[in-house]
A and B are shown apart, each in its own frame.
Chain A
């Protein structure tokens, strides 16, 4: 469309640049703070440009952590976060694919009942039923374990619905052709359904990985052993000291934010697809 409003474009870019600046601002500050010498942050106001202590701060955080707040090295915490996020993601995808397959490609008694049973989980965020869930996990002896960190979080109504939705759009003839070709249920699942779902699986993977990585309350409650500390809860521990060592905290913040941010930046298309489709 022809638009002859030169000022409008200048104005639009100005709005956007301010917007981007505001969005980036907190993270920029974190990067600045994480590169300062320890005494720099005790002197009052924070400088506006990065300092030269980046390597020292990040190395210290990575290798030894902050002993005064009982925080293990970031390397360990990042590894724990990664294991938890991967376990949650893979678990969610796996059980959701199976249940969506059952619901769409079979007729059996209580099918609707099971559908609603899964649906109910949508309505019960962990924060809401936190104490009884904690008690269940405690009774099952799953405190301070990766199983306890991940298994209670892998039921997923969202993923089940998304896969169900997607399976419904696969042409009927695909199943019919496969049956004429002699494929049984699990063969069909493995040879036809899974390959066709690759994009959806990848899109959900991005969303679920971020969800898993960012878990906070749950690991906070069920792990007391520093060996299982994840990075997000570790940072909270470091900030609740009397005088937090902000240069190290911020180094940890940057390291904690980096993996999920990179996932989004490198898989932006899948991320947008996953986000907009899971919420439909």
Chain B
């Protein structure tokens, strides 16, 4: 068990391409931190640097008390779950789990005991003598986890471990990983591009974009107060709508927009904060035409064209409202649903007193 500290971690590839630009991050002992961001944001590179699979161009990496920049992956006391599992195809499940222990010179009895404990925890005991090729996707995933578990390492590193599973299995494994981590309390660093996976798994999220940290916080902090327009657009589905303040003024803002923080020229509104019936609190009223109606069962997505604007906008409501495509409709937004941003800096504009 250990904390992980990243100080100014940088990765530069030949040709001066900076994949990771000076990341500072402190992961506490036992914490589950998720690195999330679009593909190419540097999240996998960052994880692989922690694992020792990529060299660190600049910065300091601590696992526990040790600086591990120059250490081999095997010497860092970490275990990794790979996206494609990377199970050794010619070895039985048992030997896949045991290989890392054998290389570390564990005694036969100890290996046997650890393999069985891990296999029991993951419910793969009955497959121990099988080769990976004879397993289903979900079972392989469990073996990959088992290989990390048996080692009882200082930290688990997960590199998009669920992305090769079908949707249903993915949800199931997500729950299991979370429960397992709660039980073992092993420091974990988890990479995903799926914001829902990130929200549900992480104690804290690190949102990365273009090699830099955009925001660090608990899932709810990030959802409730996205620090940048990028985070606002990336976390939450459907994505947050962005409307220029000037446009809202033309729609009869009746003083509601007057106390927006200085520098605000754009506001974000979550699709579920746009109501079709007027709330009692003071609110904005916006006219629009329904372009496309998407029924998703418990909820519906309404894609609307705003009057006098070509800004794509989506509204989320529960159930199925009695509306038809082509119909004009009004929606209502209260003041506290507005996320103020400055479009030039991309940052959230601070409210007075912040």
**Minimum Cβ distance to chain A for residue B236 (Å):** 32
Decide yes or no whether B293 CB sits under 8 A from chain A: no
Decide yes or no whether A123 CB sits under 8 A from chain B: no
A177 to B78 alpha-carbon distance, docked (Å) = 11
Knowing A182-B74, A191-B99 are in contact, say whether A176-B89 is a contact too (CB < 8 A).
Answer: no
A196 to B88 alpha-carbon distance, docked (Å) = 9
- B99 to A180, Cβ gap below 8 A? no
Knowing A180-B51, A196-B90 are in contact, say whether A187-B103 is a contact too (CB < 8 A).
Answer: yes
A181: contacting residue among B84, B90, B100, CB under 8 A: B100
Interface of chain A, helix or strand or loop or mixed? Answer: helix
Decide yes or no whether A183 CB sits under 8 A from chain B: yes
Decide yes or no whether A173 CB sits under 8 A from chain B: yes
A236 to B85 alpha-carbon distance, docked (Å) = 57
1/0 per residue B75-100: CB within 8 Å of A? 00011101111111111000000011
Instruction: Count residues on chain A whose CB falls below 8 Å from chain B CBs.
Output: 17
Knowing A171-B84, A174-B88, A192-B88 are in contact, say whether A180-B78 is a contact too (CB < 8 A).
Answer: yes
A222 to B43 alpha-carbon distance, docked (Å) = 63
Residues in A whose Cβ lies below 8 Å from that of B83: 173
Decide yes or no whether B73 CB sits under 8 A from chain A: yes
Q: Which of B316-333 contact A (CB under 8 A)?
A: none
**Closest A residue, CB atoms, query B87:** A177
Residues in B whose Cβ lies below 8 Å from that of A195: 90-91
Residues in A whose Cβ lies below 8 Å from that of B147: 177, 181
A182 to B89 alpha-carbon distance, docked (Å) = 18
Residues in B whose Cβ lies below 8 Å from that of A111: none
Residues in A whose Cβ lies below 8 Å from that of B89: 196
Decide yes or no whether A179 CB sits under 8 A from chain B: yes
**Minimum Cβ distance to chain B for residue A187 (Å):** 7
A196 to B53 alpha-carbon distance, docked (Å) = 22
Interface residue tally on B, bucketed by range: 20 to 34
- B88 to A176, Cβ gap below 8 A? no
**Closest B residue, CB atoms, query A192:** B88
A181 to B81 alpha-carbon distance, docked (Å) = 12
Knowing A176-B73, A176-B80, A177-B80 are in contact, say whether A182-B86 is a contact too (CB < 8 A).
Answer: no
Knowing A176-B53, A195-B90 are in contact, say whether A182-B84 is a contact too (CB < 8 A).
Answer: no
Knowing A174-B88, A176-B53, A176-B73 are in contact, say whether A182-B103 is a contact too (CB < 8 A).
Answer: yes
B residues bordering A, Cβ < 8 Å?
Answer: 51-53, 72-74, 78-80, 82-91, 99-100, 103-104, 147
* 6 tightest A-B CB contacts, nearest first: A173-B86, A181-B100, A182-B74, A182-B103, A177-B86, A195-B90
CB pairs A–B below 8 angstroms (18 shown) = A173-B82, A176-B73, A176-B82, A176-B86, A177-B82, A177-B86, A177-B147, A178-B88, A179-B52, A179-B53, A179-B74, A180-B74, A180-B100, A181-B99, A182-B74, A191-B88, A192-B88, A195-B91
Given contacts A191-B99, A192-B90, 13 further A-B contacts (CB under 8 A): A176-B82, A178-B88, A180-B52, A180-B74, A180-B80, A180-B100, A181-B74, A181-B103, A187-B103, A191-B88, A195-B90, A195-B91, A196-B90
